[in-house]
Amino acid sequence: MLVFGAAELPALGKMSEHGTGVLGFEFAATPNRLREILTRWGSAGHTAAQQHVFIDLGFILGYGLLLIGLCGRLSERLRHQGHPRAATLAALLAWGALVAAVANALQKVVLWLELHGHVTQPLPALAAVCGALTFILGISAVLLALTGGIAVRRMPRKAAPEGQAR
């Protein structure tokens, strides 16, 4: 994941140097705004955006697997320690991380189409919606994995109800 993130830094920089960074592109949302960005970029920015879209697929795979694994493991630990509600939340956010990665991959397909001349709706709006889903679910999973990982080390174990073993 870190290798892919580092590999796309030059492309991200070139996009920004030519007028609009990656977030502006991903959240353009309208055909007019998208055309404006693509025109401002010129061929150098356009090539950099293509590189970003391709390389970012590896980054998406990496963070998706990492967050699914972290939230899933956290869910198991919470359930084992007797915290079923928190375990359910972690399990839901493991699924949320999967949805975030899939939405982000779909966004990259849409951006690739836009870079190849398909700039009409619903593509710009779809890319923005996918970006919003990715951001909300991905950040939620990251925050839960970090805070939950710290908290689970400090949480006391709840006693198992009588007649149940852990």
pLDDT in tens, 34-90: 999 999 999 999 999 999 999 999 999 999 999 999 999 999 999 999 999 999 999
- Is 159 a residue whose pLDDT tops 80? no
- Contact between 103 and 140 under an 8 Å Cβ cutoff? The reply is no
Q: Is the Cβ–Cβ distance between 32 and 49 less than 8 Å?
A: no
Model confidence band, residue 2 (pLDDT cutoffs 50, 70, 90): confident
Euclidean distance between CA atoms 79 and 157, whole angstroms: 10
- Residue 144, pLDDT > 90, answer yes
The amino acid sitting at 148 is G
Whether 22 and 15 have beta carbons less than 8 Å apart is answered as yes
- Say what the pLDDT of residue 56 is: 97
Instruction: Categorize the per-residue pLDDT at 17 as very low, low, confident or very high, splitting at 50, 70 and 90.
Output: very high
pLDDT at 165 over 80: no
Q: What is the rounded distance in angstroms from the CA atom of residue 11 to the CA atom of residue 128?
A: 20
Residue 159: φ, ψ to 5° = -70, 140
Predicted confidence at residue 160, as pLDDT, reads 57
Residue % of the chain over a pLDDT of 90 = 87
Q: Which of 13, 8, 28, 10 is nearest to 114 (CA)?
A: 28
Question: Around Cβ 150, how many Cβ atoms within 10 Å?
Answer: 10
Q: What mean pLDDT comes out for the span 16-42?
A: 95
* Axis crossing angle, helix 123-154 with helix 84-115, rounded to the nearest 10: 150
pLDDT at residue number 158: 67
Cis status of the peptide bond prior to 122, with omega within 30 of 0: yes
Count CB atoms within 10 A of the CB of residue 117. Answer: 8
Q: Please calculate the CA angle 154-93-28 and round it to the nearest 5 degrees.
A: 130
Question: In the prediction, which pLDDT does 31 show?
Answer: 97
> What are the tens digits of pLDDT across the range 148-157?
999 888 877 7
* Residues 71/143, Cβ–Cβ less than 8 Å: no
CB 118 within 8 A of CB 34: no
